[in-house]
Structure 1
């Protein structure tokens, strides 16, 4: 008989962890969705539709959850594993990497409070890779020490992974913290999840997932913004290349028309081409060039096409859709990490 693993999806977003576990097929265990927590109203609406959350406990704010420090809070339904992609703006380049000096970074302490009070068997946490550079790595060391010592103690595995190594054509780095209670097992030397050959993936490159037909004209770079977006200032490092076979990391502010060194833009010549690995010669002044569409953004994060339809039915503005997409956890990473971690111990 399979072990039922009840999961609490905290800082749930649009369901990167949720959809990741739906892809896992095991003879030893199966998942049951018991609760989720998400404060963003648009993400809540999306999650309610996309993640079949009817009958699942819904909590808006992690600060309202019952813990030793908050004895009058909301008691979470019994759960065996905590998933939490806790807000990363304070740890990212865009957030200037303030860490625990930023209130958003301090939400990590609420995770510790939940682990201390509920003592789940397992946890899988996720954040931006840049967290390891804050305070020369000392912040990450503090976090790891706290996770190992909280409650009765956890055996911790930490992996720094890249989405393009797990079936998604996107250079998106994420760090994962996977823990199992010390009283359940002996420590094991577990390497990171095995890499997936991108050439065998559903979308080996961005070209494979780009919409080849007509798209909303709003996705094309406004003529007055072209020079700013597509030209590299002389004092900048990096490149402003468009038509990248492997996408730059998606951002939550894609709707703002960032410079091409930060976001992803594609020419009609590339989209209509036949070789995803060759950038065509493009006249940057006249060639129609566009950003990715929401459908393409969902695909780059590993979500099914129905997600774009859900967003459309909810009448979400493009800026809202891009925010939800950019803040999401890549599904393929969630699946690879959870499956590898649990299979190593169960």
Structure 2
């Protein structure tokens, strides 16, 4: 147990309330107290500490608190940002790597909150659509970051403005921008946002950001992870914006790196468990499924990626794992460790492991995974390619004249 875990235990937090807003309040306060960036955390956090069993006897909490987690808040941060729809913290990691301090995070999924806390020592707040959650966002942060879900707007016969986005999660992002007026924002979404609802969704988003909120927003860019140091063909749309009073009127997205990586660079160095190898029955099912679609002229089905190839985009469900199978002939023990139909295949065909998906998304090996494989695949599939985010964040910060 590390120091942070000990503190959590001493404060009397039961497992049943491990990821509630009391924990979010306390961990946010402990992360921001030294820099004085706390918003509504201070009063609430002190009340939580006061009521805890540990401090009933008059003991005091030593501040600032030192987090012994893989990615603690930076000393002497160069800028501040908030992390909405945070997932497991891929966007946070990119901005934190550049010297930023996250002063607020929000994520509703309990499993993602667990992974986030293990790595950053912070429990994200819950539902960002709730006013009580928004009220904890501190004033004066520099950059808003959000990987918000894609939703259609009801804009028939309307101009597609701020009010037309009510009831969608983008509205909550826009509302926070409107209230807090950060210097800049970084938004990430699926490539399909560009064509979603016949292009109306993106048009509405840009109209709100540019005309209703008054930000300079260059044309969004489709960025591919494979161009920024990870062997994954993952295209996502990035949208950046700058507050009008900063007089920023141009922005260039980062150019692709010349050197591309291949699958071989991210594979585990040692033999992996037999549980990742396909059974003969499952492999037969995949082959038949692909053949049926091929007869219909479709390209659906499993795919085996060569070592010198690039992975398909990792996703949280469906054929995500089966579209990224590999050959690995290092297996020495073919005795199944899970219930399977048939035997373990002898062709060396296996799924990539969660650690390999972690590498495909550009997370460092220090990033802790303590959830089940099912949750790990889901979390990394739903996350972001960190190097692509970081390259874009660097360009954004340069526009703000933040020394890196």
Task: Report the CA distance between 1:293 and its aligned residue.
Answer: 0.2
Query: Where do 5+ consecutive residues of structure 1 fail to align?
Result: 25-29, 67-71, 91-98, 272-283
Give the secondary structure class of the aligned counterpart of 2:217.
Answer: strand
> Is residue 2:199 matched to residue 1:137?
yes
Instruction: Give CA-to-partner distance per residue, 1:186-222, whole Å, 9 cap, x none.
Output: 412x2321211234xxxx1111211242212221113
Task: Report the CA distance between 1:270 and its aligned residue.
Answer: 10
> Is residue 2:348 matched to residue 1:288?
yes
Task: Report the CA distance between 1:64 and its aligned residue.
Answer: 2.0
Give the secondary structure class of the aligned counterpart of 2:102.
Answer: strand
In structure 1, the residue matched to 2:10 is none
Q: 1:220-235 residue pairs with structure 2 within 5 A? A: 220-231=277-288, 232=290, 233=292, 234-235=295-296
Summarize the Cα distance change of 1:259–1:235 in structure 2 as closer, same or farther, 3 Å threshold.
farther
In structure 2, the residue matched to 1:163 is 225
In structure 1, the residue matched to 2:310 is 246
> Is residue 2:88 matched to residue 1:14?
yes
Task: Report the CA distance between 1:73 and its aligned residue.
Answer: 5.4
Q: Distance in 2 between matches of 1:297 and 1:51?
A: 20
In structure 2, the residue matched to 1:302 is 362
Q: Distance in 2 between matches of 1:295 and 1:241?
A: 19
In structure 1, the residue matched to 2:178 is 116
Q: Distance in 2 between matches of 1:249 and 1:100?
A: 27
Give the secondary structure class of the aligned counterpart of 1:295.
Answer: helix
In structure 2, the residue matched to 1:77 is 138
Q: Distance in 1 between matches of 2:178 and 2:271?
A: 52
In structure 1, the residue matched to 2:386 is 331
In structure 2, the residue matched to 1:218 is 275
> Is residue 2:369 matched to residue 1:320?
no
* 8 Å CA contact retained: 1:266, 1:290: yes
> Is residue 2:93 matched to residue 1:36?
no
- Rg comparison, structure with higher value: 2
In structure 2, the residue matched to 1:207 is 264
Give the secondary structure class of the aligned counterpart of 2:188.
Answer: strand
The alignment's TM-score, normalised by the length of structure 2, stands at 0.67
Q: 1:39-50 residue pairs with structure 2 within 5 A? A: 39-50=108-119
Aligned residues: 295
Query: Where do 5+ consecutive residues of structure 2 fail to align?
Result: 1-75, 155-164, 332-343
* 8 Å CA contact retained: 1:80, 1:122: yes
Give the secondary structure class of the aligned counterpart of 1:306.
Answer: coil
Summarize the Cα distance change of 1:191–1:106 in structure 2 as closer, same or farther, 3 Å threshold.
same
* 8 Å CA contact retained: 2:278, 2:345: no
Q: With CA pairs under 8 Å and 6+ residues apart, which has the higher RCO, 1 or 2?
A: 1
Alpha-carbon RMSD across the aligned residues, in angstroms, is 2.7
Q: Distance in 1 between matches of 2:247 and 2:106?
A: 29
The alignment's TM-score, normalised by the length of structure 1, stands at 0.78
Q: Select the structure that is richer in strand.
A: 1
